[in-house]
Each structure stands twice: as C-alpha cells, then as structure tokens.
Structure 1
Amino acid sequence: MEYVVLNGEIIERYQAKIDVEDRGYQFGDGVYEVIRVYNGIMFTGREHLERLVSSAEKIGMKLGWTIEELESLFNTLIKKNGIGTGIVYMQVTRGTSPRNHAFPPAGVSQTLVAYTRDMQRPMNNLANGVKTILAEDIRWLRCDIKSLNLLGNILAKQKAAEAGCYEAFLHRGETITEGSSSNIFIIKDGTVYTHPANNFILNGITRQTLEKLCKANGVPFVEKEFTTADLLAADEIAIGSTTSEITPAVEVDGQPVGNGEPGPVTRKLQTLFQQEIERQCGTLAVNS
C-alpha cells in the first residue's frame, strides 16, 4: 500500500484526487521541493522547507502549513511508505478556482500534494562522471523561485538526452548560469567557482551545503560569473543537485574536461559531501 499527502492528510494514493481547475494544473501556479532521504531520514530537510516557504512568498503566497507541520507530515509519510534511500516530492499550488489569470479571491484553500519514491544513489555517475552539452538559457528571469513552470528546463534536459548526455549547461549570451536541473561548479587551479546566487539561478540546497563545506575545510570557493570559454578551459567541472549529489562532468559538447576523468578537487568535494550526509543521516551502505 502506498500513501501520499493531500492537503495535510496522509491517505492511500488511489484516494488522492485533484480538481481539473487547480491552478497548478491550469497555470503552473505553485512551488515545489524535492528532499533526499537517506536511511529513512530527510537530508537538509529544514533547508528545503525554508526554501519552499521563500519561493511561495516570492509569488505572493503564504503557506497554509508551518515548517514543523510539514516536517512531521513528511517524516510520517516516509515511515508509512518504508523509504530507506529515496526522495520526498512536494508541491503547493494556489488552489482550485474558476480559471482566471488574476489570483483567486481570498479564502481559496491551497493544494498540498506530497509523495515518496525509492531512489538509489547514482553510484556509477558519481564514480565515473557524466557527459554534458551547452544549451541556450531561455527561461524566465526569476529562476531563484522553485516554481512549477519548468518548460525551459525540460526542453534543455531533453536536448541533452537526445545527445546521449546527462545534463545541459545553460548560458545567457556567453555567461554560464546553471544546469537544466543542477548547479554548476568549475574548478581552476584548485578554486571552486559558481554563479552568484541571484535571480538567474536557483540557489540549490546542495550548492549551499557545498559552499559551507568548502569554507569549513579550506577549499577556496568563489561566487563569480564565468563564461562558456571559462567552462571549457576548466580543470574540472562538477554538478550539484539533490538527486545528483556532487557529480563530475567529464565531457562538454564532446570535448573532454581536463584529462576526461573526475579530478582530485571534485573527489574531495564528494568526500566532504558524503561525510555531511552521514553526519545528518547515519552511515551509508557501500552500494547505496
């Protein structure tokens, strides 16, 4: 039996129904988060839920549930579904109302949906790295909001998939912003560079965690715009996201990164990140 969250209640999945006039379905009018689960424990769960609140506020929506209520709901959902290694997905929309571009009248209840999924760690990608491509960043100008509107990301990710690649590195003009579903880190002469956390990127929780780990462990970390030329000349490239963790990128548009293998700084970042996972969630199985 699989359970989901619908509007603050945990119910069997087959019982969950969403109205066709829900604004998430009609307009993408909502926000979402994905939280990694290791050993049945949400990793950086509080940070994700704080960002959910922030994203909602940025679109003029005050969540109808507190962070503490959401934590309790999702922890219960994880246990009921027996999730060891996986994810919790959640989204909140502005609710159900007759279709109108303007916000619905006061009193319309938000729609909260959440579910879990078993998802093992991407061990092969972590060990061997992935291939990537470059793609124009055609998204809107508020990428700092984790909204349900992801068509630009989807088209870029599909372009990567059709090229036999894992990720698309997005650029506005010559400036690299982020991946279609990840943040990008280039390493040059031992320093980690990443795009500043402004409206052109999502300030990833993995990105924030990595920044703290670098600063605590003497790894130079610089928030600075860099170009496609800088990317292609990097010694190493890594991508970071909730499900990708810290994954080496070993090829861009058919060109090898460095010597075409994961580099030493990326390996150190992976070690630091796994240590942080284990600090929060307990020891990870070797093949998890």
Structure 2
Amino acid sequence: MTLLDGKKTSADLKIEIAESVKEIKSQGKKTPHLAAILVGTDGASMTYVNAKVKACELVGFNSTLVDLPEETSEETLLNEIDKLNNNDDIDGFIVQLPLPKHIDEQKVLMAVNPDKDVDGFHPTNVGRMTLDLPAFLPATPFGILELLERYNVKTSGKNVVVIGRSHIVGRPMSILMSQKRAAGDATVTVAHSRTKNLKELCLQADIIIAALGIPEFLTGDMVKEDVTVVDVGITRVADDTKKRGYRLAGDVDFNSVSPKCSYITPVPGGVGPMTIAMLMKNTLLACERKG
C-alpha cells in the first residue's frame, strides 16, 4: 500500500512554481498576483484563506485579501468583484465559499471574469473543461489528477467510481477522468445518495473517489483488493481522547479500507494540500496567459 502524499506533492509543486516565478521576475515581467474575497468570519473559511495567503508568500506571488463583514450586501460584494475584474494587476481571484445566506452564490460566481476565475467555477470555464478546451480546472479535481499522475497510477481503461455529484468535485472529476489525458481514459460511474447498488459498484471499481461529505462512509467490505482510493472528505468528528475535542475524518474508513489498497490518500494530508497548490498553479497560468 502506497500513500498518495498530498502534503509532499504540494510542497514539490510549490517549489516548482516558485522557480517559475523567479524566472518571470528575472525577465522583468510582472509578478503573479492572487486576490481573495472573504465575507464574514466563518472559521473554516478564514483558515483556508490564510493558508492561501501563506502559499502566495511561499511561491513569491503578490496577494490581496478583501475582508468584508458578514452583513455586507450583495451589491457591495458585486462592486468589489467588479473592481478586481478591472484591476490589471490582479491575475486571478477567488470568492471564498460559503457566502452568507442573504447573498446569491450563483450570481456572485457568474460575476467573476472567466479569465480571472482561478477557482474554475464560472460556467465558461466549466463549459470549456467539458469540451476539453483550455480552461481553469476546479482546484480540487485538478489536484487529484496531479496526484494520480505523479504517482503513476494507471487509469486508462480502468473502472472509476466517483461517489458524489457536486459541481465542485464529483461532477468535474467524472468528466476529467473520462477524457484523453495522463490521468484519464477511464470508464466512469457517478454514484450518489439515490444510487441503489453502491456497494456492488464499488466492489467492481479499480479506482474510487469519495467526495460525499459523510465521515468514514466507505468501508473495507465495499472495496476489492488492489483498489486505488482518493478520499476528498474532511469532517470534524467529536473525540474526547483528543486535546481539541475532535478529530478530522475523511469519507473513507482508513483502517478497514487501506489494507486492501494499492494506493490511498490520507486525511489530513492528502487531497487538501493539493487544492491550494493547484490554485497557485492556476494563478501562474492566468499570469502567463496575459504574457
């Protein structure tokens, strides 16, 4: 069993991106610049945004944080997005989700200039991805592809089951894995809460990507020998034995599943670190596209 180490792979990626940034600067070209908009004080969102700011510093990017209070109106937020869209120094930006209930998330994502949409959520980028045209890929699926490629996990002709159909992970993952690419050419099944024969499907799968948000849902009796398992989930589960009072659990019961695996991602330290690294990669691509 080999661990698909996202922590190490993302660190390698950041070193590669930092080298590219040094090269850009040595040629007198513009330093890549990533901005983030954070609305409110959601703990997880603040943690993610701070991690993105630190990653920018590490690779040599410029970064800007637009920090807005919880009560910010939709109109004010759209005005801030418009400013970033029209700021030539900003190569890419993200609007941290989730947003407060009074703001229409879809309207906000639609307002982002697709050329600066380094999260890959705008319909233009989703459409281009679907048609296999150059596009910003959503950071989490992009990170999973990168992990599979770097560990030389064979995907061509394999049966892949994606558990979860979200727009952020499940659906784009199913499209990307079926396309002609290094980590692709697979036969993909998308499973979800209405799937009747999920265990049967999983037992036939060579690769399982679990992205449904239910802790330790995938268990050892649901997988075959030599399977590759990618665990996208991360949930805080109450645990009195831990100092913090909780532990982080993925969608996969690691203890029962891992003995059967040829490859598996840990939680934490698997897919999570890759998401931020790929956001950096998308920002570098955005900067390079502008020449």
The two structures have a TM-score, normalised by structure 2, of: 0.32
Q: Which has the higher strand share?
A: 1
**Higher RCO structure (Cα 8 Å, ≥6 apart):** 2
The two structures have a TM-score, normalised by structure 1, of: 0.32
